[in-house]
Amino acid sequence: ENTYDTILVRREGRVGVIALNRPKALNALNEQTMTELVAAATDLDRDPEIGAIVLTGSEKAFAAGADIKEMGSKTGSDMYREDFFSAWDTFARLRTPKIAAVAGYALGGGCEAAMMCDMIIAADTAKFGQPEITLGVIPGMGGTQRLTRAVGKAKAMDLILTGRQMDAEEAERSGLVSRVVPADSLMDTALEVATTIAGMSKPVAQHAVETVNTAYETTLAAGLQYERRVFHGLFSTADQKEGMAAFTEKRKPNFSHE
């Protein structure tokens, strides 16, 4: 099904895997990559046969950032007219659970693309950072906001102001990544986690994603109210009836994703 130049797309059961594939540029994210990734991920998101998406790179680099060579000569007016990077919002907002499987460099836009996913699983070789300041800019794909929410002000300021890299162990300690695994088991672990999630009811998992993300958008009282309403609403799904019946009947649930 691969009709793209800069990414590889494959399916493993109910899991869609997108691998960034510009090895000569350490998977730097140019406009073509952004467009292809958004298109592929949107297709997977809409497919009822897909229950989770894994975004990954190579052993050496998840992605070394936005493509500096492509971007460098643009003017402020070009950036504004093109609303540069805004297409990433579509990727960030997709509702199917997304896992970033990160080995090697996840810098700048690479770190930011990983943070657009619902969770990050890191190889012990992963290096995260927001080096934009060394290029005379600041993060532009969400780094100042998502990194700060993920790791807090102290660590975010440290990384964004110095441009330094953070290894996988520090990233896990800081709350940026869910798990760190040996590099050679990264994809096995990511696929195992994705397959587990994809075995749940898709609409229920999507509501879980939306409800957790609401914690970053609202007051606690409004978030709790939202959670309760979603919880109530899920009792109108077939999968709630199936999940609870399966528990009572001591068998595995067979979700219809409805």
By CB under 6 A, name the binding residues for ligand CAA: 25-26, 28, 64-69, 105, 107-109, 112, 131-132, 135, 139-141, 143
How far is the C-alpha of 103 from the C-alpha of 189, rounded, in Å? 12
Q: Which is nearer to ligand CAA, 17 or 26 (CB)?
A: 26
109 is catalytic: yes
Q: Which two tokens stand for residue 172?
A: 């896990």
How far is the C-alpha of 111 from the C-alpha of 135, rounded, in Å? 16
Question: Which of the residues 40, 112, 198, 205 is marked catalytic?
Answer: 112
- Rounded to 5°, the CA angle 55-35-150 comes to 45
Q: Which residue has the tokens 């978030």?
A: 223
Q: Which is nearer to ligand CAA, 16 or 108 (CB)?
A: 108
Minimum CB separation of residue 134 from ligand CAA in Å reads 6
User: Backbone phi, then psi, for 200, in 5-degree steps?
Assistant: -80, 170
Q: Which residue has the tokens 């309403």?
A: 229
DSSP string, 53-77: EEEE--SSEEE--B-HHHHTT--HH
Minimum CB separation of residue 133 from ligand CAA in Å reads 9
Minimum CB separation of residue 135 from ligand CAA in Å reads 6
Residue type, 101: A
How far is the C-alpha of 253 from the C-alpha of 245, rounded, in Å? 8
Question: Which of the residues 66, 101, 103, 190 is marked catalytic?
Answer: 66
Q: Which is nearer to ligand CAA, 86 or 185 (CB)?
A: 86
Q: Which residue has the tokens 């680099």?
A: 61
Q: Which is nearer to ligand CAA, 138 or 245 (CB)?
A: 138
Q: Which is nearer to ligand CAA, 140 or 243 (CB)?
A: 140
Q: Which is nearer to ligand CAA, 149 or 179 (CB)?
A: 149
Minimum CB separation of residue 210 from ligand CAA in Å reads 25
Classify residue 185 by its DSSP letter. G
132 is catalytic: yes
Minimum CB separation of residue 77 from ligand CAA in Å reads 18
223 is catalytic: no
Question: Which of the residues 65, 108, 109, 129 is marked catalytic?
Answer: 109
Q: Which residues contact 237 (CB under 8 A, 6 or more apart)?
A: 201, 203, 204, 258
Question: Which of the residues 132, 143, 156, 198 is marked catalytic?
Answer: 132
Minimum CB separation of residue 232 from ligand CAA in Å reads 40
Q: CA-based Rg of the chain, rounded to a whole angstrom?
A: 19
Burial class (CB within 10 angstroms; exposed 0-12, middle 13-18, buried 19+) of 17: buried
**Active-site residue list:** 66, 109, 112, 132
